[in-house]
Structure 1
Amino acid sequence: MLPEPLLKVMQNEGVVAIATQGKDEPHLVNTWNSYLTLSADQRLLIPAGRMHTTEANISSNPKVLLTLGSREVSGLHGPGTGFLIRGQGSFVTSGPDFDGMKAKFTWLRAVLVITIESVTQTL
């Protein structure tokens, strides 16, 4: 079960940074908190309109780091909080996860699926 403050962060708009490891260096891409969907089995589903480099990186190394936060949710030391999520990523272009996300985000070409391994509150 994900911590309640993280679920609240996902309900407030903010930027999500997604880090993958490329051949020569790390790669970062951004999305929005409001684009994150939590599946019934606690995986993060993220619509991918582009994310071609992220997809290529994940095909050879599935480790993914995400950071997200919100100034609207109380944190460890006052207003605002943030989280670091570690997990394993994959891209899907068909099936129930894809179909459900395509209904919400008609522009997506794939869904980035993150199986969460750990969540750390950073702020």
Structure 2
Amino acid sequence: MIPDKLLEVLKHDGVVAIATLGEEGPHMVNTWNSYVRISEDGRLLIPAGYMHRTEANIAFNNNVLITLGSSKVAGNLGPGIGFLIKGTAHFITTGPDFDVIKAKFAWARATVAVTIETVTQTL
């Protein structure tokens, strides 16, 4: 379900934007491409240091939109590619998915696990 080009993007520098919607309205937080891991079953695993409002929003409404990209990977029209991911998320603080993230990012207090519904190439 995860396109090869998206896997290639995750190997390069770039910003990941995670949008959520809670009781107080929309919220967006950023992380880095290099922080994202892929679980064996194809979920995105993202370390959460702070992300307290993101966590509250996901508890209220677990739908997320994620954008990411890289100028170093060829897209449809030349250099640069981007993706829009729609999915559902939840925060994990124990278990194997948390352990994978905590081993790499000692500062992580949780793992944001995202089950992908759709991936759309935007560039």
TM over 0.5: yes
TM (normalized to structure 1)?
Answer: 0.98
Aligned length: 123
1:11-90 maps to which residues of 2 (within 5 A)? 11-90=11-90
Structure 2 unaligned residues grouped into runs of 5+: none
TM (normalized to structure 2)?
Answer: 0.98
Counterpart in 1 of 2:118?
118
Distance in 2 between residues matched to 1:112 and 1:29, nearest whole Å: 12
Q: Which consecutive aligned stretches of 4+ in structure 1 deviate over 4 angstroms post-superposition? A: none
Distance in 1 between residues matched to 2:24 and 2:53, nearest whole Å: 12
Counterpart in 2 of 1:106?
106
Distance in 2 between residues matched to 1:17 and 1:87, nearest whole Å: 13
Shift of residue 25, structure 1, vs aligned partner: 1.9
Shift of residue 24, structure 1, vs aligned partner: 3.3
Structure 1 unaligned residues grouped into runs of 5+: none
